[in-house]
Amino acid sequence: MSPITAFISLALVAWCPSVAEPATEFVEASDGSAASLPCDLTSVTSPDRLEVVLWYRGSEEAPIYKYDARNAGHPQHWAQPELQNRFFLRILDDRRAVMSISPAKQTDETIFHCKVDFKKSPTRITHVNLTIIGKSKLI
């Protein structure tokens, strides 16, 4: 783990009470293709209900994406306007979600943090290191 990754992980753990993921997820995507960033939705208390999923980029303090499921049956999606509708969260099942970035750009390369709040369980954070592989140039 790099010093920057360790600092961000420690800052997020200190920032909110949570169940911090011990391992960082690693995702690679080609420049211009789609990237799929995993998020763990597993609650400690069973049964429990997912309330809010927040995505953060790097060390930014404000979320870049919010999925609010507190209004049962009508979850709300919100993304920062500068993301240009390239980011979308898909809930796969009770345990997994995926943040899709399409098309992924070189400027998207960083560590993302998925923060999940539940009705009863502690907050869960998944750290995802996204690497963008540049287009090769023909000689």
Per-residue pLDDT tens over the stretch 39-66? 999 998 888 999 999 999 999 999 999 9
**What amino acid occupies position 41?**
L
The answer as to whether 138 is a domain residue is: no
pLDDT: is 13 or 131 the higher one? 131
User: How confident is residue 7, by pLDDT bands cut at 50, 70 and 90?
Assistant: very low
CATH code, domain carrying 29: 2.60.40.10
Pairing, β 123-133 against β 25-30: parallel
What does the block give as tokens for 15?
């920032």
Confidence (pTM): 0.80
**Cα gap 29→52, rounded to integer Å:** 26
Q: Which domain holds residue 74?
A: 3-133
The answer as to whether 139 is a domain residue is: no
How many domains are there within the chain? 1
